[in-house]
Structure 1
Amino acid sequence: MSDQLQQTEQRTCRFPGCERPAVSADAGTGRPPEYCDDEGHNRAAAWRARRRLTAEPTRSVEDEKRPVDAARQRAGELHGQVAGMVEHLGHQMSALVEELRTLADPDAAEAQIESVTTEAAERVAASSARASRAEQAQRQAEAERVEADAAAMEASELAEQQQASFVAIQQELSDREQTLDQVAAELATARSAAEAQNLQAQGELTQLREQLVAARTRLGETEQERDEATTRTELASAARAEAEERARGAVAHADGEAARAQRAESDLAKVRDQLDHARTERDAMQEEASSLRGNLTAVSVERDSARADIERERTHGDQRVSDLRITQEQQLAQVRDELAELRKEAREQRSRADRAEIRPATQVANEGTKPKPTKQND
């Protein structure tokens, strides 16, 4: 031990050219450090340095000038390398000797054989005990398994009955779905008829609107003719005033002016007749427009009534569909609850059967762990 400590203290850094001591090893096992505390001196850097030294010429100019110093330096490097290799081989040799001693020790082999034999015997005994308890538990659980099978048969018969009830409910639901489809088809037919009536009413309304536009156009033309007649009447009035002025101003031209006045009167009468005729046509147009407005109002009322009927039918159909859906969902929920109850009962019976199988094995185990009673002397 003292020799190893002395060698550890004398170890130097393995980096080529470095003669500083290696870092001291910590307490414990493991490979000791081989390099000094310089961060650049490590295994990879030492390998690269050795490669460079190998690649350089064996003897430089300085070596030729100072051969002793060069030889001392190379001897130091070789000494460090050889010392590291010797130290490593010494550790490996010590470990190998220890392992060979253990391998050749007959006491260690005998202890291992005895341990393996004892463990095998214990495992065989435990296996035999478990097999015996298992056979007893199997014989005791057989009767309970028969009872569990009978309960399972009863549960299966009850499940079949519930399945038949479920099939009947499904058939009833299918019939109700067919009824629902029929009601939906009737509702679709009613909607189609209402839409057709609505389209027809819209067509009639469009036609009435076109007639109303034409009547308004004719009324505008009549009003324009009335304005023109009014303009002519105003012109005639102006001409009459001018004639009267001229009649007062020129007595010599009284007869001519009177005749001209008579002609103006005649034109005015014609204009008045035209104006009366235009007013009559305007009144007729207004009456026709009023009639068209009444027809339009009646068509609008019928359209609103048709829309109200459609909406009422749609609401009634949606209500029927909603009622049928709610009834179907309630029946399905009831069937699901019944199936859940049946499954719960089956699980409980299966759990009881499993507990019946496990209970004898537990009892046997407890009886095996109880101490045997000792006989008392009389």
Structure 2
Amino acid sequence: MRAELDLGKPNRAVSPLFRLVGGPDGPPEGDRTKRGAYPGSNPLECWTLGIIFPAVVGVAVFDALWRLGGAWVASLLVVPAVFVLLHVLAFGLRLRKPDQAFWGWVLLLTLWAEWLVWRGGDTPVRWVAWGWIGFVIAQFMAVGALLWKRLMLVAGSVGIAIRIAIFVVAHLIMGGLLWKFGWVAASAAAVVFAGCWAWGTFRTSSRLFGPLATRIKDGRILLTFDDGPDPNDTPAILDLLDRHGVKAVFFVIGDKVREFPELAREIVERGHEIGNHTMTHPQGRMWGLGPGRTRREICECQDAVEEATGVRPRWFRAPVGHRNFFTHPVTRELGLDVVAWSRRSFDTIQHDPDRLVLRLTEGVTDGDILLLHEATPVAVDFADRALAELDRLRPSSEQSGDC
């Protein structure tokens, strides 16, 4: 089986803000080779900047004409003046690439906005200048967010060192605020930092500390089973999957693989994917583990699975979905993609199969990743009913197929 995770489509927007939040690109138009050579193919950005830039230029020209000749001159000449100015600047500055053009216009309009705000006197268009300055501030904040995303992609020891440095800097900032402004400012900063850390750690779908998948690319449904292999549940679940013609992903615990290597081999031999679920499944401590223990948990499970099956996992799922601050440098170093889920039933704490099936399958959509568990009192019964319900909702070929 060979499912492909949905880790997001590339966004080739020019402006930092749209690279951060602008959504995926549309299909390239015209010469694909030329369009692939530089950024600038985000449709939403093209529409937005195509309105904002000329509008601000128009306001600047209108204000200048008003100062020179009054309201009638400004009203009559603003459109042709804007038309000429846009073309003169576009050709005169020789900004041939979209990124050059974007930053060139940003520089020019920012110089105008700063002059208008600080030296332009009383004018009714001052609010446009302030709005433009706010737009530029948002762009630079997006630059910071993009830098953060890039730092979160650094793998291995360097990535861990970067995260330790971020941890130290955050505490130095709080210490500086305490020394300079007192405990209220330091406490406010601590709340912000702690909130961001908690969001990145305990929010199972959060990408704050690195990329992860909650869906698959194609129009199927992917079943995943955590906490195996289990001598009672694994064989029965494998039989159920064969009966329904469905392939799944088993996120296994390294200690259990060492104890039941034949079950891990059977998972692979019967055409299912096997994933890394840490060595000891420290569900109550994974969120707070340091870099050394995090590395051992992931690496040792990776080795245990490979020794038992000859297959090296390509996906990792943290216990309870709680990735800590040092998870992604390790997984990226090992070539592992981090996988969460889009739907779960809480079958580890509730044991009514009917309620579990309803919670898992109600409103299920194409691309969903479903989370189930082994080693629970109702694991097999729940899996049986869930598979039957999915068969009823859609043909089995649309569930997981050849992942």
Shorter chain as denominator, the TM-score bin is under 0.3
Larger Rg: 1
Higher share of residues assigned strand: 2
Higher share of residues assigned helix: 1
Structure with greater contact order relative to length (CA < 8 Å, sep ≥ 6): 1
Q: If the length of structure 1 is used for normalisation, what is the TM-score?
A: 0.19
